[in-house]
Amino acid sequence: MVKKKETTIVQGEAIEIEGSLSRPEIVRKVVNIFIDTENLQRGRGVKFRYPVENLSINQQLFIFRPGGLNKWNFDFKVEILGELGLGKGSHDEILLDFQNKKRENPQKFNLLLEVLTAIYDCLENDVDRLLENYPSLQTSFQTGAKVEILLKVVKWMFIMEDIVYWNYQGRSMLYNALMNL
């Protein structure tokens, strides 16, 4: 009988990505936090959880490492809780949420894409600060996840893709899929 190894979850420091940091600066900051935190606590059965965003529903958004089965590089997974309204947070579920918002309110959807593009272009990485310029956007959609939560999840999916696909397309894969809805 093979004994299953217990899992230890280490809570890392909060990772804050705000302002107009460039993609290389964001990747460097996140990866360096991983290295500094995980350097002495690594090994099979050790997982890491980092708080990355405060949510308006009095919860936090976390990223979780390693990201999946047999992924031992700098990959991570955005931890999606059921109450966030995004299912498990797969790319398909994110696309479906955006698609439903487009169907519900096409005019406000264009504003949502403006904010998404600002995040994509790293003009402002603080979603709350961005949404201050679009006060009606939060209440423009009744379907799916709250706009603030959706954008914070997508921001971290962008960052994950920049890290994992550094020498390829990075965040543009998800962004292009969203823009082509």
Contact 143, 100 (CB under 8 A): yes
The pLDDT confidence band at residue 1, using thresholds 50, 70 and 90, is low
d(CA 130, CA 134): 7
pLDDT at 19 over 80: yes
pLDDT at 144 over 80: yes
Alpha helices in the chain (DSSP H): 23-38, 91-104, 106-120, 127-131, 147-164, 172-179
The pLDDT confidence band at residue 166, using thresholds 50, 70 and 90, is confident
pLDDT at 79 over 70: yes
Measured over the CA atoms of residue 133, residue 138, residue 141 and residue 146, the dihedral's sign is: positive
* pLDDT score at 4: 62
Q: In this structure, which amino acid lies at residue 171?
A: R
Q: In this structure, which amino acid lies at residue 59?
A: Q
Q: In this structure, which amino acid lies at residue 53?
A: E
d(CA 30, CA 32): 5
Give pLDDT tens digits for 20-73.
999 999 999 999 999 999 988 877 788 999 999 999 999 999 999 987 656 567
- Tell me the mean pLDDT in the region 152-157: 97
Range of weakest confidence among 72-76, 130-134, 158-162: 72-76
* pLDDT score at 7: 87
pTM tops 0.75: yes
80-114 b/e with 16+ CB inside 10 Å = b?
bbeebbbeebeeebbebbbebbbeebeebbebbbe
d(CA 51, CA 62): 4
